[in-house]
Amino acid sequence: MKSRLLNLKRVQKQVFLVLLDIFFIVFAVYLSFVLRIGKAIPSEIFDSYWIFISLPILTILIFQKLNLYKTLLKYIGTRFILNTFLATTMSCLIHGFFMWFFKETLLPNSIIPIYWCISNILIIAYKFLSKAYLYSWSHFLNDGKPTIIYGAGSAGIQILKTIRKGSTFSPVAFVDDDKSKHGSLIGSLEVYSIKEISKLIKTKKASVLILAIPSINYERRKELLKILTNFPIEVKQIPSIEKLNDDILTTDDIKHVEVNDILNRAVVSPKKELLEKNISGKNILVTGAGGSIGSELCRQIKVLEPKTIVLYENSEYNLYKINQELNKDDNIIIVPLLATVTNYKQLKTTLKKYKIDTIFHAAAYKHVPIVELNPIEGVYNNVIGTYLLAKAAHEESIENMVLISSDKAVRPTNVMGASKRFSEMVLQAFSSIKTNTCFSMVRFGNVIDSAGSVVPLFRQQINSGGPITITHRNITRYFMSIPEAVQLVIQAGSMARGGDVFVLDMGEPIKILDLAIKMIHLSGLKPVDDKNPAGDIKIKFTGLRPGEKLYEELLIGNDVVQSEHPSIMQATEECLDISVIEDCIDKIIIARKNQSELQIKTILLKYVNGYSREVLVN
């Protein structure tokens, strides 16, 4: 019976509720006569038959006007009660006015107020009892999402108090690792084992789980999240212990678990001396300052108290955003420059005028398919921009220049990766000549939530109901959070001696399909697959894009040593003489002038190890 009712179409459910409301309204009128007259079948009923017709019709129309039939039974709460009182009150007042105006004497005056009390009790009671029967008794008086609280300690109890004040979440159970607490009641909620989460999702219709264990260690958190990604339940977490101790927690502080929380990465604490070495008290230039990596570089650099940060960016909007964010401290000079790295005179002027000490070169075209379709501009921006900046840095004797590179530079199958590898060789060539500038480069994989990353794309696709698009079932990628990557970039630059290729330890590569499924589950949804054809989000495989690899690498050769930082390796790789680089630069500039993709790709093919001959086929 329950499953039949739940599987009815929405229109059928609404019609069914209207019929039930009519029944209870008529029954309420009848009880009003019985209580007023004192007989089981009062004769006055037949004299006032019209009220058995008018009251249901008018009340149902007001219910409809107040959208009571648009509210899902599962989510009715205090607002429904108020609207029910309003509807019955309006109906009774209209009938009372009608009786007074037309001098209706056959109907006792007290019938209307008696009816008002009975109808409200009957309608509200049957709706909430129906909600409890069809869904769960646990959220009988709450219209929020049925929620499990993981952690029956002091933090969990505080979360329970907080969410009971609002209507966003409806607590249905505690889950705790402590066996001694299992089966006990805390705040009228029973405590269960983690093994019973699947049962709670089914029996109590739980759709949200809040992690209320702020002091949990990394290993246990990793293990726990790995378990939870197997369930279609939205996982949220509480803020820091400090906020809990301040007793100012609100439901707005309960946040969704971020993707970096499920990457199974142990983050190594940064070394303060390495962070500060090339930044504190110095003048810093960040190219691509408005991008995802560049903007995070600027944020972390500002914390390290430099003298000046020059924001070098060719996107007006991105420059405006990062300048607005950073320009709130008079002690640190923030200089926003709308500029491009392919303008040599502008670069030279900037380095001289602001007496730059350290350059972080993050400006680049990085989107693989876009650069593949626009190889001339992609290579010109990435290679020529890097060369001109390195040349200006060398000529102005800048202390340090750090290039932000990519794992796609290793045996590249696309123009973007080849351009990044050539950019690395540009810095290696400058390091081989007599120079006062320490050139280095840092190579790493994908960063979460960066521009072009799959993570924000998947999040957007899940929010819009799918499908999630993946190029290949077996495609894998390395992942790291933006803040962690930037911390390591800054530290790597501080360890450079000249010409260094630093490679960040990205951990184990992650299968993109597994990442998508975890993100779907942590959103409280189910993927559509062979085992679950009635799931929520479809996964669509679109085929590898031009130049896309199934997997990425971080090293070209095997000549790699561990640096003084456990998450940073140092590689020795082949490089070109500066004369060869300069000859290639001239040819790239001519190729761009002639708009010759073939010339561009021929240069990359000749000098970039691993670049495929297939790129010459148009």
Active-site residue identified among 236, 408, 420, 549? 408
Residue type, position 502, single letter: F
Round to whole Å and give the CA distance between 462 and 339.
37
Handedness of CA 117, 122, 127, 128 (dihedral sign): positive
Which residues does residue 173 pair with via DSSP β-bridges, in sequence order? 148
Name the nearest CA neighbour of 124 among 157, 67, 85: 85
282 exposed, middle or buried (CB, 10 Å; 0-12, 13-18, 19+)? buried
Q: DSSP letter for 543, please.
A: -
* DSSP one-letter string for 251-303: GGG-EEPPGGGGS--PPPPPPHHHHHHTTTTSEEEEETTTSHHHHHHHHHHHH
Copy the structure tokens of residue 76: 């009715």
Biggest CA–CA distance in the chain, Å, is: 114
CB of 360 closer than 8 Å to CB of 312 = no
Round to whole Å and give the CA distance between 288 and 283.
16
CB of 202 closer than 8 Å to CB of 175 = no
Our answer to whether residue 408 is catalytic in this structure is yes
- Classified as helix, coil or strand, 358 is strand
Which residues does residue 539 pair with via DSSP β-bridges, in sequence order? 468
Strands (E), 475-554: 476-477, 479-480, 500-504, 510-511, 539-541
Contacts of 28 (CB under 8 A, 6+ apart): 115, 118, 119, 122
Q: Residue 456: is the preceding peptide bond cis (ω within 30°)?
A: no
Q: Which residues are catalytic?
A: 408
